[in-house]
Amino acid sequence: MRCPFCHVDNDRVMDTRAMEDGYVIRRRRHCNSCHRRFSTFERMERIAIRVVKRDHNREPFNPEKLRSGIERACWKRPVSTERIQELTQRIESTIYEKFEVEVPSEQIGEIVMQHLSEIDEVAYIRFASVYRAFGNAQDFIREISPYLPLTKR
């Protein structure tokens, strides 16, 4: 590995640690030439999965877009940024486990809703209202009815 400071290819690894549930390895290095330290990261190369949209267009899977949608659903809810990041990583891992080349956007939405329902009911309803394009109050009532006590159904 070339040193980012002196550009000499003469270093040694001081420390190696696994991160992000073992999907990333961080190596702390020491340059034998200029004696400065730097870190490198190794990530597993993933096959590019494409998302098949409802209009049958395809676009590359974008975990950042996934995280953004989850953040909007969790806005002003007691869900930490770390929890959102963890949730995004779990959903991304699920997608890469279940699909090889293409994933329908409907499947991504269902996976997100499944995970959100376990974390925060309001965030789940918010996401479902956009994902399923609720058009009226009946759509909301139908979606929240499993969360209502039996006496009010």
61 to 64, 83, 144: CA distances (angstroms) = 9, 21, 30
Domain ranges of the chain: 11-43, 50-152
Helix orientation angle between 137-144 and 121-131, rounded to the nearest 10 degrees: 140
d(CA 11, CA 1): 7
Q: Which helix (H) or strand (E) holds 54?
A: none
Do the bridges between strand 11-19 and strand 24-31 make them parallel or antiparallel, or are there none, so unpaired? antiparallel
Residue predicted with more confidence, 46 or 80: 80
pLDDT, tens digit (0-9, with 9 covering 90-100), for 73-96: 999 999 999 999 999 989 998 998
d(CA 39, CA 3): 10
pTM for this entry: 0.64
Residue 150: what pLDDT?
Answer: 62
Residue 35: what pLDDT?
Answer: 96
Reading the block at residue 119, the tokens are 């974390």
Backbone angles phi, psi at 29, to 5 degrees: -120, 155
pLDDT, tens digit (0-9, with 9 covering 90-100), for 91-126: 998 998 899 899 999 999 999 999 998 999 899 888
d(CA 81, CA 100): 29
Q: Which of 23-27, 58-62, 115-119, 148-152 has the lowest mean pLDDT?
A: 148-152
pLDDT-derived band at 153, boundaries 50, 70, 90: very low
d(CA 65, CA 94): 16
Highest mean pLDDT of the ranges 23-27, 69-73, 125-129 = 69-73
